[in-house]
Structure 1
Amino acid sequence: MKAELSYMNWRDLDAHLVWIYSGAPVLQSGRFQSRDSSAWLMLQGELEIEGGAQTIGAGEWVFVPRKSHRRVFSSDAKIISVKFVLSWPDGRLLFEPSQVLSMPSVQCPKLERAVRALLKYVKKIQLEAGNAMHAQSLSLEEYLQSKQLFETWLMAYLEAMMALGMDAYLSRREDVRVVRAKRGLEQHPLHTPLDLRGIAGDVGLSLGHADTLFHQSYGQTMRAYYDARRYTAACHWLSRTQMPIKEIAFNLAFKDAATFSHWFKRHAQRAPRHYREWATQQIG
C-alpha cells in the first residue's frame, strides 16, 4: 500500500548517510545496538545471529533492528556496511524491523548497484572513513553528489522493505505553531540557556499548551527534543575530540561539569569519562 503524507509532513523525515565502508566488519563479534538504521551486504564469509538462530551468507543483504542482538562474523567475512538515519522527530524510524531481516541481493539488484555506486564515489572523494565520516570536509558539489547517490540507494532500500512486507511508520502534524516551535529549538544556540516559555510565547502559546501540542506531533516534550540535540553534540565531542569535559559542559550551557555529568549519565548510562573511553574502544 502506498504511504502518503503531506509535503509538509515528509519534510520532517530526517534522511542522511552516517557512514559507508567496505571490508572486514568493524566489530567481529558482540552485541549490536544502534540508534540509527543499518544495512550490510555480505560479500564473503558468514554472519551468525543469536548463537546460530540465523545464519546469513555471501550475496545477502542484512537489515539490522535497533534492539540489541548478538552477532558473530566468520574470520573471513567482508561486508559493505551502510549506517544511515531515516527517522522522524519523535525518534521513530520510518522502518523498524523487530528482528534481523535478510534478502538475497539478486532479489533486489538495484540495491547492490546503488550501494556500489555510492561506495565508489565516497572513495573517490576520500570520504570513506567509517564513524568519522561526518566530520570530514568536502565541497558543496561533492556533498550534493554523495547525497544524490545515497538517495538513489534509499529508493532501492524502500523497494526492499516493501518486498519484505515492512510497513512504514508515518508521522503527521498539522499545527504550524508546532513547526515554528520545533524550528526555534533547532536554531537555539547550544551554549546559551534555553527559555522554553520564550519559545512558546514566540509562537503565541503558553508553555503548557505548546508542550501538549508538541508531544502530540512529535511524541516527546520540547525539553526532551532539545536535550536530544545536546546529547548528540555531547557524544560527538566526547568521542571525536579531546575537549575537556568542563568545556563541553560550558558549550552546552550547563553551570558546571558536575551538573553536566549527572545529566549525561541519565541519558547514556555512563559518566562522560567512561563514555569517552568506551567510544574510543569502539572506534579503534
Structure 2
Amino acid sequence: MPRQHANRFTLDFYGLQPRLVWANERTLTQEFLDMETTAAEDETVAWFIEEGEVTVTYPRGGVVNARAGEWLLLRAANGSQHFTAGTRLMSLRFHLRLRGGKPLFARRRDVVVKTGDSTKLQQAAHKLVKEFDRVSAPGTVFVVRSRLSMVDNFRIEAAFMHWLGCYVETMQAEGEKPEAASRRDARVTKALIWIEDHPMRTKFSEAKLAKRCGLGINQLGRLFRADQGISPFQYYEYRRVELAQQTLKDSTLPIKEVSFELGFSSPPHFANWFTKRVGVSPRAWRTKIKPAQETSPLKVPSRRR
C-alpha cells in the first residue's frame, strides 16, 4: 500500500515547547539489554537500531519489535524492553509540547519506520548526535547548556530543530495527527511562554509576570486558572519539580549543584521543598529511579562557585 502524503499543518511555532534531553549512539552493554521500563510516558523516545533487535512488551497488552535499519518511535506508555546482545543504536529523548504541557503528538501507538523510509530521520539524528558528542554535552541538556558557549548552543539547537522537522514529517507520513492547540487568551499564552522560558536560577515573581502581560495580579490569576486550573505560581512550581526530577534522573550532578541550578539558596532548602512536593528526599528519589533508566547517567562537570 502506498504511503500517505503528510498533510501540511500550520501552528504558531512559538506555541511549541521543544526540549532535548539527550542524543547518543552506543553499543549496549549487558546490564542495559533487559530493563523493566522504557520511561517513555513523559518523554518522547526514539531509537534507531543499527545492529541487533529490540522487543518492547507492555503490561496492558501489546508487543512491538524493531530490527536493524529501523526506527522505533515509542508510544506514551511504559513497557519492558529487551535488546539482543551486541545491539547498537542511536537513542534520542526529547519533549515536544504545546504551551501548557500538552504533547504535540498523543503517541497512542508505537511507530516503526521501515528500512528505506528512514533515511532523512537517520541523517538528522546522526548530525544531532555528532553535535552533542563534539561538545561532550553530558547529562541533562537543560542544565548543562548553560555552561556551553553561545555558538555551541546554537549549533546543538539547529541540529535539534532539523531533527524535529524530520520527526514531525515522519509522524504525519505514518498517519499521526498533531494535537490542536487550545484557543486561549493571548495574555495567558504570553504568561505560559514567560514561565516556561524563565531561568530557574532567577527568582520568580507573579507581580513581574502580571506586569509583562499588561494585567493586575488578580486578573492574571483568574484568566490563568480558567485556562490551566492552577495559578501561575503553581504552574511554575510544577515545571520546577519536573526539571528537578529530570536532572536527578539523567545526570550525576551533585544534589548541592542541582539545588543551585534550580535557584535554591542552600541544599537543605531544596531538599525540604522537594520532599514536600514529591514525598521523598532528592537523594531517595534518585536512588529509587536509577535502576529504571535506559542508560547510565552521564557525568556532569561541577560548576566552580
SS in 2 for 1:18: strand
Residues 1-284 of structure 1: pairs in structure 2 closer than 5 A: 1-5=7-11, 9-25=12-28, 27-28=32-33, 29-34=35-40, 35-50=42-57, 53-127=63-137, 129=138, 131-134=139-142, 135=144, 137-173=147-183, 175-182=185-192, 185=195, 186-187=197-198, 192=203, 196=206, 199-200=209-210, 203=213, 205=215, 209-215=219-225, 217=227, 221-235=231-245, 238=248, 240-244=252-256, 251=264, 259-265=272-278, 270-281=280-291, 282=293, 283-284=296-297
Q: Deviations over 1:208-227 (max 9, x none)?
A: 64234325555754233211
After superposing the two structures, state which structure 1 stretch, 230-239 or 54-63, moved more: 230-239
Aligned partners of 2:16 and 2:271: how far apart in 1? 35
Q: % of aligned pairs identical? A: 21
Aligned partners of 1:121 and 1:191: how far apart in 2? 28
1:38 counterpart letter in structure 2: V
Aligned partners of 1:16 and 1:257: how far apart in 2? 24
- TM-score, normalization by structure 2: 0.74
Offset at residue 230 of structure 1 (A): 2.0
- TM-score, normalization by structure 1: 0.79
After superposing the two structures, state which structure 1 stretch, 43-52 or 210-219, moved more: 210-219
Aligned partners of 2:200 and 2:54: how far apart in 1? 44
SS in 2 for 1:32: coil
Offset at residue 279 of structure 1 (A): 4.6
Unpaired runs of 5+ residues, structure 2, are 1-6, 298-305
Aligned partners of 1:172 and 1:196: how far apart in 2? 23
Offset at residue 115 of structure 1 (A): 1.3
Is the 1:20–1:81 Cα contact (8 Å) retained in structure 2?
A: yes
Q: CA RMSD in A?
A: 3.5
1:242 counterpart letter in structure 2: P
The structure-2 alpha-carbon separation of the partners of 1:257 and 1:225, relative to structure 1 and needing over 3 Å to count, comes to closer
SS in 2 for 1:40: strand
The structure-2 alpha-carbon separation of the partners of 1:237 and 1:10, relative to structure 1 and needing over 3 Å to count, comes to closer
Aligned partners of 2:45 and 2:177: how far apart in 1? 17
Is the 1:41–1:62 Cα contact (8 Å) retained in structure 2?
A: yes
Is the 2:54–2:84 Cα contact (8 Å) retained in structure 1?
A: yes
Aligned partners of 1:246 and 1:63: how far apart in 2? 30
The structure-2 alpha-carbon separation of the partners of 1:76 and 1:215, relative to structure 1 and needing over 3 Å to count, comes to farther
SS in 1 for 2:108: coil
After superposing the two structures, state which structure 1 stretch, 27-36 or 229-238, moved more: 229-238
2:43 counterpart letter in structure 1: D
Offset at residue 105 of structure 1 (A): 3.6
Q: Deviations over 1:114-173 (max 9, x none)?
A: 21222233333333x4x3455164322222122222222221111210111001013245
Aligned partners of 2:247 and 2:220: how far apart in 1? 31
The structure-2 alpha-carbon separation of the partners of 1:225 and 1:190, relative to structure 1 and needing over 3 Å to count, comes to farther
Aligned partners of 2:130 and 2:17: how far apart in 1? 24
Q: Deviations over 1:165-206 (max 9, x none)?
A: 0010132455343244335545486675x6646744664546
Higher RCO (Cα < 8 Å, 6 or more apart): 2
1:231 counterpart letter in structure 2: V
Q: Deviations over 1:240-267 (max 9, x none)?
A: 433359967981799956752443325x
Is the 1:42–1:78 Cα contact (8 Å) retained in structure 2?
A: yes
Aligned partners of 1:24 and 1:18: how far apart in 2? 19
